A and B are shown apart, each in its own frame.
Chain A
Amino acid sequence: MRRLNQYARAFGRRELTLAGASVVAIIVFATTSPYFATADNLATVLRNSTELLLVSLGMTLLLAMGSIDVSVGMVLGLAAIAVGRLLQAEIDPLLAALAGPLAGAALGLITGLVVVFANIPAIVATLGLLGVYRAAIFLALGGGWLSGLPTGLTTLLSSKLAGIPVAALVVAGAYGAVWAALRRTPYGPHLLAIGQSEDAARLAGITVRRTRVATFVLSGVLSGLAATFYVGTYRNVEMTIGSTLALDAIAAVVLGGTSILGGRCSLLGTALGVLLLRLLQNGLLMSGVPSLWQTVVTGVLLLTVLGLERVGSFMPSVRRAGRSV
């Protein structure tokens, strides 16, 4: 029991650190920019976090499973094109909104089947698919942009239910549903067992391949849902859509305490990681730092966290090796 409390405390510490870092970031940027700490701007940060919150939720599951998907940005892009084309065809905005997650599911299924049945390491397989999907985006857009899309979807998604923005409801619903799946159904222990050791999971009788493909589909659905919000917000789809999304998502998830090696995850950590990342990016922009530096900051943050985890886990792993197992 004491040991369990230690674990709980160790997990909670990461989330507290992130919340603390966010507060510090807000205070620092408030002094460097008069426009940062305004209600309007902070609301914008939250608004701009919607897509990354959804994509990172799927990425959390993939990393927890010992997998990864570096093509999520392209999945978002292709799903956004599907939504955009349907809007152009003057289809009911609600149906167009559903096309996002549907297209995401189809692409997630393709990714999952390629990774699992071709038995290629996920990072390599999804890197290959990233190239293919990027070309597909180029072909679908014909070198131009989808722009000036009809406003129906925007109206739908910017509405409020009982005073709460639809985006907040959808994000909260998605996190709640995934939390319930992890903690209240066999999916949770199966996912984490696969992340810890695929062979052990198979020996235990878990349908490893089905669980893995299902998780890629789920991640695809979340990226597709993010695409719907993207189109609703910006009403255009540009050629470079989603190009830094995978980096942002992986950085936010790792920042949140999910293990890059699999077997451990934190949904709250992911949400806080996304918020901190978006706060930093917005704060730097507001303080006059060129936007090119955003990806530098994200990348350095990712490498720093991974480096610190390596150093931190060095001691326990030595102790584990010494134990009589």
Chain B
Amino acid sequence: MTPPLLVAEGISKRFGALTALTGINLEVRAGEVLALLGDNGAGKSTFVKVLAGAHPATDGTLRMDGVPVAFSSPQDAANAGIATIYQELALSENLSIAENVFLGRELVWQVAGVPFLRRRAMQERVADLLHELDAHISDPDAPVGSLSGGQRQAVAICRALNLNARLIIMDEPTAALAVAETRKVLQLIRRLSGRGCAVVLISHNLSDVFEVADRMVVFRRGRKVAERTRAGTDHEEVVSLITGAHPDVRALEQQQS
């Protein structure tokens, strides 16, 4: 078996007196879709923020390819190959698809110290990425403001891939999408994992999760309470794990209290 892409060991996060995460151990492998499940306030979003470099962990270590890493900013995490697709998509509607994909990382050639955009090269790269993702967007020059929700997700994913992301975090990527759009985003997630990119997915929609996730991790009150493969569980069990009705979770929580 290949070594895990990312290993979290004993990750804890406290905000003053509030403990948001306690001793989270978790692995993510290349090309795997891992779903984080749990009720509101269970700690999923805090955990992915630690992975994304938005919050530093209070305790614990993160390893990428076996090497310990410490992220003090999202930029650090991005440089290590972890990209986050934000829920309120951080795209500029007034710019074109290609401009968005390369924003802040434009390809340029220098003339007397002045950086000039290599528009053609950027357009071609974006057209290739869109084609690879089968995103059904033909014109990299179209303004992002004219795209549908699912197409915007595709653009955000292109941007992450273009920055050589090896792990993409998606927080509720389908929450605001219509059914047909949701299907497209789920296809995108599969295609990403097919490319060898790991995806960490937060979703409240269990049917979406059962469709794309290889593995599921359940969070409850800041702890990881269960881990299941898709083949080894079903809807009902996952729901009982999330709500705490499952005997394993009860036993665990009695033992802790």
Chain A residues engaging chain B, CB cutoff 8 angstroms? 1, 3-4, 7, 184-186, 188-190, 192-193, 195-197, 199-201, 203-206, 263-264, 323-325
Contacts and interface: CB of A to CB of B under 8 A. Distances in A.
Interface in B153-203: 176-178, 181
B108 A197 contact: no
A325 B90 contact: no
Nearest to A206: B104
Interface string B77-107: 0100000001001111111000100011110
Given A186-B106, A203-B74, A204-B90, 15 more contacts: A1-B139, A4-B141, A186-B108, A186-B115, A188-B117, A190-B103, A193-B94, A195-B94, A197-B90, A200-B91, A205-B75, A263-B93, A324-B148, A324-B149, A324-B177
A200 B74 CA distance: 13
B114 interface: yes
A135 B89 CA distance: 46
Contacts of B86: 203
B152 interface: yes
Contacts of B176: 324-325
A324 B178 contact: yes
| Closest A-B pairs by Cβ, 4 of them | A205-B104, A204-B104, A3-B146, A200-B90
A3 B142 contact: yes
Given A185-B108, A324-B149, A325-B149, A263 B74 contact: no
B23 interface: no
B148 A196 contact: no
A199 B90 contact: yes
Given A185-B116, A186-B106, A193-B103, A4 B139 contact: yes
B148 A185 contact: no
A82 to B, nearest CB: 28
A188 B108 CA distance: 13
Helix, strand, loop or mixed for chain A's interface?
Answer: helix
Contacts of A200: 90-92
Nearest to A186: B106
Given A184-B116, A324-B176, A201 B143 contact: no
A203 B92 CA distance: 11
B93 A196 contact: yes
Interface residues of B, number: 34
A152 B178 CA distance: 70
A325 B156 CA distance: 13
Nearest to A194: B92
A193 B114 contact: no
B59 to A, nearest CB: 27
5 contacts: A7-B143, A203-B74, A204-B104, A205-B75, A263-B92
Interface string B127-157: 0000000000011011100101100100000
Nearest to B99: A189
B92 A192 contact: yes
Given A189-B106, A196-B93, A4 B115 contact: no
The interface centre, meaning the residue of B117, B139, B177 with most chain A CB atoms within 10 A of its CB, is B117
Contacts of B92: 189, 192-193, 196-197, 200-201, 204, 263
Contacts of A197: 90, 92
A41 to B, nearest CB: 40
Contacts of A203: 74, 86, 90
Nearest to B151: A325
A184 B107 CA distance: 11
Nearest to B86: A203
Given A184-B117, A192-B95, A193-B95, A323 B139 contact: no
- Name the residue among A184, A189, A199 with the largest chain B CB count within 10 angstroms: A189
A192 B99 CA distance: 11
A190 B117 CA distance: 12
A7 B99 CA distance: 16
A311 B89 CA distance: 27
A161 B89 CA distance: 52
